[in-house]
Copies of this chain bind each other. A is one copy, B any other.
Amino acid sequence: MSYTLPQIAEILDAILDGNAAHGPVTGINTMKSAGPGEISFLTNAKYSNEVKETQACAVICSEKFAGLPKEGTAALRCKDPHMAYAKALELFYQPPKYVPIIHPTASIHPTSHIGSNAHIGPYAVIGPNVRIGDNSVILAHVAIYEGVTIGNDSFAHAHAVVRENCRIGDRVVIQNGVILGGDGFGFAQDKATKRWHKIPQTGILVIGDDVEIQSNTCIDRAALGEAHIDRGVKIDNLVQVGHGCNIGENTLLVSQVGLAGSTEIGKNSILAGQVGVVGHLRIGDNVVVTAQSGIPGDVPDGSIVSGSPAFENKQWLRTIAVFQKLPELAKKIRALGNTEKK
């Protein structure tokens, strides 16, 4: 595959600023690694200095970036450089293809239905009364328990697990080692013996369309009724979602986030890495929780919160600045006390 710079500019909806007479473009690379036959991208201001040294024939950048064009390197000015970068990668990338096949070693219960053009890999195990949609890909060692439904065009990577009766939408991506619908952490204590009695986890987990869940993440089923991960939610690696949570459209949970049971999160919110949420509370729409924060109570729509326990982000930034000077502060207070005593 190769394109001319004007072709690329058109595909990316970019304004080509600088030398358009360049030969065929055969790839995309980082500014450090790109050669003259490749384009590059500047989507994080931290790397602005690298445009000086890059040999890329053009760099995707914001509309007003002043560092380009330079000799040999045009600017591909975009309203949304991050989205243009995504689309440029797609131009040159050939994703692995999985042809329609049911591998002879796949163990598929006769009561299950596999859609047309599906790919079922070696040693996949599909239980009774499962329904898998058209064009879906189920790779090696995936275990689908009884009663599960998976929509069309979905993809389960090797070693994913979907537990009893859960429902997975269309175009869902489940990366390796993900456990969907595992039992929640529900136990009632016998007051006399102190022993914990298991509370049956009788509900299910429902995953909307266009959701992606990444490696080794665990999303528990509801103890009762349904837990929901709504359309377009994206969940990073090693995230914990306790039983009975509901997460609104397009919300992001970054790696190692932990949600205790019955957490409600609205739409378009972002929980950064290692955030913890105590459960039985609501985080609103358009909320941002910064990394490692702990959420002890409801968070209103549109908030940015930080800290453990978390509070308003701007106040937290001021607080942290003082915190780091606490020893000096304590000294001043001692000095004031001493002056007074004199």
Q: Which residues of A contact B (CB under 8 A)?
A: 28-30, 33, 44, 46, 80, 82-83, 85-86, 89-90, 92-93, 95-96, 103, 105, 107, 121-123, 125, 139-141, 143, 145-146, 157-159, 161, 163-164, 173, 175-177, 179, 182-183, 185-191, 194-200, 202, 210, 212, 214-216, 218, 220, 223-225, 232, 234, 236-238, 240, 242, 249-250, 252, 254-256, 258, 260, 267-268, 273-274, 276, 278, 280, 291-292, 294, 308-309, 311, 315, 318-327, 329-330, 332-333, 336-337, 339-340
Contact = CB atoms under 8 A, between A and B. Distances in A.
Contacts of A224: 28-30, 89
A82 B188 contact: yes
Nearest to A276: B274
A332 B337 contact: yes
A232 B195 contact: yes
A238 to B, nearest CB: 5
Contact of A339 (B210, B278, B325, B340): B340
Closest 9 CB pairs of A and B: A143-B158, A322-B326, A182-B215, A125-B140, A86-B199, A83-B188, A179-B215, A185-B236, A218-B237
A127 to B, nearest CB: 9
The secondary structure that dominates the A interface is loop
Q: How many copies does the complex hold?
A: 3
B86 A198 contact: yes
Q: Which of A83, A161, A176, A315 has the most CB of B within 10 A?
A: A176
Contact of A123 (B89, B123, B274, B325): B123
Contacts of A196: 232, 234, 250, 252
A242 B250 CA distance: 20
A107 B123 contact: yes
Contact of A125 (B141, B189, B309): B141
B311 A324 contact: yes
A250 B194 contact: yes
A236 B196 CA distance: 13
B83 A225 contact: no
A258 B258 contact: no
Nearest to A333: B332
Given A159-B143, A195-B250, A292-B294, A30 B225 contact: yes
Nearest to A319: B326
A304 to B, nearest CB: 15
